[in-house]
């Protein structure tokens, strides 16, 4: 464990987790995350272009993120985390830029509708609209990777489930960082890691779940993709920490995929906080995780390291 990770864990445990434990205004939590993002590392030459994506009742605001000479055809559809209550394309811009830099793909981050004003299934409906939009403007499914963190990782898995049960084609691959995939909260790590978890207050998780789901069933695979169908799904990479309360979500999701014949890679880190990948550029463990995720995406989008290096120059 690096010295920087030790300091980060202390900061999260004694500053961030208490703030989340007593937060009542999730709009303010989201605004704080947006401000914090401005202090995170962002690759040189990062470009962010706003776009509006149509859906049946209006528009979804989103951003295209790219660095350097990005591929015009290869794209990553990235869903931000935030318990379905906060988070934005602003808070996740540095992470998206880091992935764009590692893959030379363009990254699309939608500002999907958030609870409690927009309860389930609003978020996953927006995810489907964004994926259909990419297909409708000419991107082949084999040129699209799905990616997300925390609740966004759950949306990635839920969208894969819908690809397996509707007319949607599967993308090339999917990556999930510390995904929240089981709204029944049945994972033993919710209790086992409650004290080890330095960021998420375990007692607030049922509240966040209820704010999002309302009266919807907790085992609906569009919200709990651990109960989903994934026959024929593409390769999946899941990264999580052994010290977080969602450890068993990652483990159960990988088991579900594996049972259905999906090529799934489950990587655990020791003593890292929930979604530590955000600290890329400052935390060695975050850079290591994103390097592995970038290599995974490049391989399945057909962007080899030599091509990446040529484009970077």
Which positions are catalytic?
Answer: 150, 244, 274
Place of tokens 């939009």: 133
- 275 in Cβ contact with 152 (< 8 Å): no
Closest to 91 (Cα-Cα) out of 45, 42, 36: 36
What would the two tokens of residue 213 be? Answer: 């789901």
* Dihedrals phi, psi of 117, to nearest 5 degrees: -65, -30
What's the per-residue H, E or C state across 224-286?
Answer: CHHHCCCCCCCCEEEEEECCCCCHHHHHHHHHHHHHCCCCEEEEEECCCCCCHHHHCCCCHHH
Q: How many CA atoms lie within 13 A of 184 on its CB side?
A: 13
Q: What is the Cα–Cα distance from 202 to 123, expressed in whole angstroms?
A: 23
């Amino acid at each position: 464990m690096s010295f920087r990770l030790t300091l980060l864990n202390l900061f999260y445990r004694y500053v961030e987790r208490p703030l989340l434990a007593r937060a009542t205004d999730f709009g303010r939590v989201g605004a704080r995350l947006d401000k914090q993002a401005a202090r995170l590392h962002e690759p040189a030459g990062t470009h962010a272009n706003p776009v509006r994506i149509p859906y049946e009742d209006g528009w979804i605001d989103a951003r295209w993120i790219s660095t350097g000479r990005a591929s015009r055809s290869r794209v990553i559809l990235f869903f931000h985390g935030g318990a379905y209550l906060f988070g934005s394309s602003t808070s996740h811009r540095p992470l998206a830029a880091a992935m764009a830099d590692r893959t030379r793909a363009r990254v699309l981050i939608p500002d999907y509708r958030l609870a409690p004003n927009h309860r389930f299934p609003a978020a996953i409906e927006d995810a489907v609209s964004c994926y259909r939009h990419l297909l409708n403007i000419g991107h082949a499914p084999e040129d699209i990777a799905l990616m997300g963190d925390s609740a966004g990782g759950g949306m990635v898995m839920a969208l894969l489930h819908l690809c397996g049960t509707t007319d949607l084609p599967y993308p090339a691959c999917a990556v999930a960082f510390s995904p929240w995939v089981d709204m029944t909260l049945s994972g033993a790590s919710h209790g086992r890691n409650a004290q080890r978890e330095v960021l998420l207050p375990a007692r607030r998780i049922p509240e966040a779940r209820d704010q999002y789901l309302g009266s919807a069933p907790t085992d609906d695979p569009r919200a709990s993709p651990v109960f989903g169908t994934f026959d024929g799904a593409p390769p999946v990479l899941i990264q999580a920490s052994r010290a977080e309360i969602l450890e068993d979500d990652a483990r159960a999701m990988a088991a579900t995929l594996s049972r259905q014949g999906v090529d799934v890679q489950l990587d655990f880190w020791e003593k890292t906080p929930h979604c530590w990948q955000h600290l890329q550029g400052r935390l060695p463990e975050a850079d290591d995780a994103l390097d592995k995720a970038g290599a995974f995406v490049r391989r399945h989008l057909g962007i080899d390291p030599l091509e990446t290096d040529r484009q970077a120059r």
